[in-house]
Every structure is written in structure tokens, then in C-alpha cells.
Amino acid sequence: MSAVNASSSGKPLRVLARVARLRRGEARSFALAVLLGWAAVIAGVGLLTASGYLISRAAQRPLFVSLMVTVTIVRSFGLARAALRYLERLASHDLALRALARLRTGFYAALAPLGAGALGDRRRGDLLARFVADVDSLQDLYLRALAPPVVASLVILTAGAGAAVILPETGFVLAGCLIVLALLVPLLTAAAAASAGRRQAPARARLAEELLEALEGSVELAVAGRASERAARIDRASRRLIRIGVGDALAGAGASTLQALGSGLTVVAVLIVAIPAVHGGHLSGVLLAALVMLALGALEGLAPLPLAARRLRASIEAARRLDDVSSLRPTVSEPVAPRPLPGTQRLALRAENVSFAFPDGHTALVGVTLELAAGCRVALTGPSGTGKTTLAELLVRFADPQAGAVTLGGIDLRELALEDLRSSVVLIAQDAHVFTTSVRENLLLARRGATEPELWAALEAVALAEHVRLLPGGLDTLVGEDGNLLSGGQRQRLTVARALVSGARFIILDEPTAQLDRETASRLIARVAAAAGERGLLVITHRPAEVASFDAVYELRDGRLVRPAATAAARRAGAAAARRPAAQLTSLRSRA
């Protein structure tokens, strides 16, 4: 497994651009949102400017008729501002939600082919935090991080031009002050929030990990008396996230203070230039109020910039974390020109002289050869950590061996399309997931076209049919989050039933009876072996007695495959073979 972590090989902004790049239609929506945002701010600037002029002119007590045009302009700007802001919200949120859906789909599409090998020791809680919280952070990228600077730039140009029409000097002063304010406050805010931004996503992921593990293991924690210890760990993770959030809030408060101070200084600068012009007769006193109100209106366009700086920092960190996973390379890849599977049902799944070692150098398998033919029942035993699960994963090509080959019908698995392979060979892991849906949907995941009698037959084979019939909704009963309305043994049997429903030619069960007592486990193995029919069945177990009637039982020791004493089936076959010559000899003697 190799991974390309772009955050270490390129600049953070480059990672952000790659992860959150806008598509063509989204770019148009972004441009529309920016245009509407600019128009809304300019309508606000026009409203304040016209209002300032109206108030100053009204103080001179002219005829009311002479103010009608200005009153109409004020009303028009007020209505336009509200309408434009509403349209801007529609456009920007539509863009954000569409981009959010695309990011989720894209991240899942990058995550799905990786498999456990490529993900390494990343924990489920951390992946969940990336899939939910980090993707959610990126929706702010378009709405609150990228659009405000573009809108602010357009507002500065427009407001500066408007002020220059009234008094050229104030146009340059206002534009200069706005530019300094637009650059200085966000930079200081970003610097203050940098530490909080870097630490917030990992802290949130840590809290999600603790919560997820506590929820999934709540029963075990209560039985072991460790619930209070886990609660203390959750509390520590929560307090750390709160401290980071407080730091981020303080940065925001500082930004608001700087923004208010800068706004006041901008108005003072405009007045310093405009008042002498009024005294010199170059500017009407009525227009002085309009200039001040114009400056205040323009400052509205700069108000979102400190928040934009903080959101940009958070988006960069979220993009880095997403890119850290989405840039990983799958442990296996599709062949360029996949070969079709042979049509015959009498195929064999064979691992031939297979060796495999993990990236850390630990050797899991050495020269292993094992064959699973159609209709055969084969068992694999051995202590934990001897490579049983690794061999099972090689048989479904979750990884490729470093030496030797795994073949299906004589064709190397590396030459088969992954979809063809995994529809022919199904692996049910010990911790196979039960989805938060109904019993029926959990079974239909294996084969959407399965009929109801086939579903009941699979449940009957795993001794779960009677329990399901007693449920309120039968097959349509919800099994709860992660199947928590079922016992551990029932969840395992449901996943085994899912394998039987599938149309796979070979079924591999990894510790299918780990949560069952010995008597129930032996009965289950016997029923599943009978229900498998002409399909090949490989069972990985720690209990050799459960599979004593199988065609072959192998043991893995230190990564090497050995065959222990003859199974009961082999002993029976040997005894029958030994009786045949004796019977023949008795027959010859009777004839003599």
C-alpha cells in the first residue's frame, strides 16, 4: 500500500483547490451568487447614501415636492436590497448544498475502493468525522470563504468610483482605507485563529471516535465496569474541543473590534478630506452627509471578511484531511483488459504457493497452497494472528500476494474484473456490518433479485427464521442502529444468511460462530454446509470440533499451512476403503 499525501507535497491552497474545485455549472452558480451579493451591498450603499442626502436636504426645509424623487429612490433601494439579498441567499445556498452533495459522493467514491489494507490503522470515528464534519466545513468554502473577498473587491471599486463622482479626493481616500481594512483585519484574524483552525478538526475527530466507541461498546463497558472511565475520556475530549472553540471565538471577537475601529477611522479619513472641500465651496454640505453614509454602506461589504479568513483556514485544514484519505491508492486495481470468468459451475478457487507480508515487514503467509473446489467443505483453523484472515482476504482480492498466485477457474484474480470476482467469491468477516434497516434489506444487499422464499430459506439455514417470524414486521422489521436490536449471535447469523442469499459460487466465513456456544455453533456450521449445496465453502474457526465432518481441515502455524490428523469424514472414507478388500476376500472364499 502506498499513499500520496498531497498536503505534504504541495501548498495547502493547492490541496484546497484540488479537493474543492468547482465544476462548470457550479462556477456559473458561484458567479451568480457573487453578482447578487455585490448588487445587494450596492443597493444598501445606495440606500444609505440617498438617505443621508434626504435627511440633510430635508433639514433645509425645501418644498416637499422637491424631495419626492429622493424619497422614491430611497424606497427603491430599500426594496431592491431585500429582494437581492433573498436571491443571493437562494443562489449561494443552492451552490453550497450541491457542492456538499458532490463532495460527499466524491469522498465516498474515493473511500470505497480502498479497503481495510489501504486505510491502515485509521479508526472509524476519524473516518466518520472526515466524512461528516470535514465535508461540512468545505460547504462554507464557497458561501463564507471565497465569495466575500470577491464581493468586497467589487464593492471597493464601486464605492470608490461613487465617492469620486461626488468628490475625487474622497474616492481615492475611501478606496485606500477600504483596501487596507480589507487586507489587514482578515490577516490578523487568520493569524489569531491559525492555531485553533489547525487543532479543531483533529479534536472534533477525536471526540467522534470516543463517542462512537462508547456507543458501540456500551454494553461491554457497563459489564466491565469501565463506563465511568470512558465517560471521563469523552469529557476530556469535549473540553479540549471547547477550549479550541473559545480560542476561535476570541479571534472572532478581536476581529469585530478591529473592524469597528477601522470603520470609524475610515469615516474620519473621509471627513478630513471632505470638510475642507465644504469650507472651500467645492462640495455642498448636503453631499457631505451623503459621502459619510456612502462610506458606512461600503463598510458593510467588508464585514464578512474576518469570518471568511477563519472559514478559509478551517476549509484548508478540512481539505488536507480529506485529501489525506482520498489521495490514498487502493491496495488492488482493476485490470486494463479483464478476462471473463468461465461459464462452467465446476470452478476451483486456489491459492498456490502464496506468500504475503505487511508493509511493516511482518510476514503473514509463507508458501501457502490451498484449493476450494465447487461443492467442497474446507476448514481453516489456527491461533489468532497466524494469517487466517489474511488468506481469506487474498481469496477475495482485498490485497495481492507478494509471491505465488490466487486463481479462480485457472485465471489469476489480478486478471479478473473486481465486480466479477466479488460476485463469485463472498467473504463474511467476523465483524461484518449489519445495516440500520430491515431484515429484508440486509439480506437483499447480497442479491437484489432474491425472492422471499429464498430469504426465508437462508434464515432457516442459520436457525434465524423462527425468531424473524415472531418479530412485529417479520422480514420488514427494523434491526436498529448497526443491528443493535439483535443479539451478537443473531447479527452474525444474519450476515451468514446474507452470504447464502448471494449468488456467489464460493462462500468464505471468518469466525461465523465466535459469539455462539459450542453446541449451537456446531449445529449452525452443519446447517450452513448443507445449505451451501454445490457452492464451495471455506470456514475459518478456532474450534476444530465444529468442522470435523468437513472434507478437509487445515491449520495455519506461523504463516505456513499444515494438515492435522484426518477428519471424521476422511476416517470414514478410509474405513470404508479398508472394508472393501476384506469384503472381496470373504466373497472369494465363499465361492471357493
> Among residues 187, 158, 194, which one has the least CA distance to residue 262?
187
Lowest mean pLDDT among 187-191, 487-491, 532-536: 187-191
Entry pTM = 0.61
CA distance 566 to 551: 10
Please indicate whether residue 177 or residue 142 has the higher confidence score (pLDDT).
177
pLDDT at 592: 36
SS percent in the chain: helix, strand, coil, step 5: 65, 10, 25
**What are the angstrom distances between the C-alpha of 537 and each of 105, 335, 350, 547, 553?**
35, 27, 13, 11, 12
**Contact of 425 with 505, CB cutoff 8 Å:** yes
**Mind listing the pLDDT tens digit for each residue in 7-37?**
333 466 677 777 667 777 778 888 899 999 9
Which residue is associated with the grid cell 462452467? 344
pLDDT at 8: 38
Sign of CA dihedral 111, 114, 115, 117: negative
CA distance 218 to 229: 12
pLDDT at 154: 94
Binned at pLDDT 50, 70 and 90, residue 544 comes out as: confident
Residue type, 213: E
Please indicate whether residue 485 or residue 536 has the higher confidence score (pLDDT).
536
pLDDT at 560: 86
> Among residues 260, 539, 308, which one has the least CA distance to residue 427?
539
Lowest mean pLDDT among 275-284, 356-365, 421-430: 356-365
Cα 121 to chain center, whole Å? Answer: 16
What is the mean pLDDT of the segment spanning 316-339? Answer: 78
CA distance 529 to 178: 78
**Contact of 400 with 389, CB cutoff 8 Å:** no
pLDDT at 431: 75
* 161 membership: H or E segment, kind and range: helix 147-166
**Mind listing the pLDDT tens digit for each residue in 114-159?**
665 556 555 555 566 566 667 777 777 888 888 899 999 999 999 9
What is the mean pLDDT of the segment spanning 106-111? Answer: 75
CA distance 125 to 108: 15
**Mind listing the pLDDT tens digit for each residue in 283-325?**
888 888 889 899 999 988 888 888 888 788 778 877 777 777 7
Average pLDDT, the chain: 80
Cα angle for residues 220, 495, 453 (degrees, 5° grid):
140
- For 410: left if phi > 0, alpha if psi spans -120 to 50, otherwise beta; the answer is left
Residues 6+ apart with CB under 8 A from 424: 341, 347, 408, 504, 505, 506
Binned at pLDDT 50, 70 and 90, residue 577 comes out as: very low
Binned at pLDDT 50, 70 and 90, residue 81 comes out as: very high
Which residue is associated with the grid cell 473516518? 127
pLDDT at 564: 59
- The CA dihedral of 107, 112, 114, 120, to the nearest 10 degrees, is 80
pLDDT at 330: 73
At the top level of CATH, the class of 348-576 is alpha beta
Domain-wise residue ranges, the chain? 6-194+249-326, 348-576
Pairing of strands 552-557, 560-562: antiparallel
**Contact of 584 with 408, CB cutoff 8 Å:** no
CA distance 254 to 546: 69
pLDDT at 207: 79
pLDDT at 268: 92
Whether the per-residue pLDDT at 585 is higher than 70: the answer is no
> Among residues 139, 132, 137, which one has the least CA distance to residue 205?
132
Please state, as a whole number, how many other Cβ atoms lie within 10 Å of the Cβ of residue 505.
22
**Start-to-end CA span in the chain (Å):** 73
DSSP helix/strand/coil, 263 = helix
**Mind listing the pLDDT tens digit for each residue in 202-225?**
777 777 777 777 776 676 677 777
Please state, as a whole number, how many other Cβ atoms lie within 10 Å of the Cβ of residue 387.
25
- 6-194+249-326: which CATH architecture? Up-down Bundle (1.20)
pLDDT at 177: 92
pLDDT at 574: 44
What is the mean pLDDT of the segment spanning 427-453? Answer: 87
Q: How many residues does the chain have?
A: 592
Pairing of strands 552-557, 377-381: parallel
